[in-house]
Every structure is written in C-alpha cells, then in structure tokens.
Amino acid sequence: ESDQLDRSSPAAQAPSCTKQAAGFSESSAFSGVEVVGIRNDKGVKDGFAEKYAQRFYTDENDAIRTEIGIPGDLFGLLGGRETYVVDKDGTVVLVFNGQLNPEKHVEAAAEAVESLPKGGFDLSSLL
C-alpha cells in the first residue's frame, strides 16, 4: 500500500507528456508512491507506457476527465492536464492544473508527497 499520485495528460509521446512521465519516473520523491497516468484514447501510442515506472489508464471518450471535472485547454482542443496527490486515507491533498508546464506538475507533486505522513493507501478502493 502506498500514497497515490494520479495525473492526466493529453497525449502520450507529445514532448510535454514525455517530460512529465519521465519526471515522475525518474524522481526519487515518488519512491513508494503509486503513480498513475491517465491519457485520452486519442493519445495512446504503442510502447509509451512500458518506458516509465507508472501505470497508465486510457480515458475512453474523456469519461474520467468529464466525471472528475477536468476542463479542456486551448478552447477545448486539448484534454486538460491535472495532477492529483491522494493520501493514504483517500483525501486529495493536491490538485495542480497546467497544460504547458509539465515540470511544474512533478515539482508540485513532489512537495505534496514529501509533506504526507508515511503509510499505505489502497488504490483499489478508488477504482
């Protein structure tokens, strides 16, 4: 069991998505934290998920973004990019939104994770 970090991004292998995925995978701040990427069905590229130390879910028809309420960016042309940090009790402790600054997602999430008490979290309780 671990704390949870969920992130949404518009398209796998776009430069900003690649930076964000690499940042979460390479940072030691997320050791012991389950990192989950959510990408829209148009952004799925073969082999992308296997390159990074996180799980990816495909957001068919933007159903997850719609249910959570993640707004689109650039007048709806791009799916929203948001990062959430969820503590072991299932409480959202960070929501970070920003389409064009993937590195800031990693920085903000690392700070939030570092402030969390150590302990477990069961992802299956949310799915």
As beta bridge partners, residue 73 has 78
Distance CA 108, CA 78 (A): 22
Question: Please, are residues 126 and 4 in contact by the beta-carbon 8 Å criterion?
Answer: yes
Identify the active-site residue in 5, 12, 17, 106: 17
- Confirm whether 17 is a catalytic residue: yes
Spell out the residues 6+ positions from residue 77 whose beta carbon is closer than 8 angstroms to its own.
none
Question: Which residues are known catalytic residues?
Answer: 17
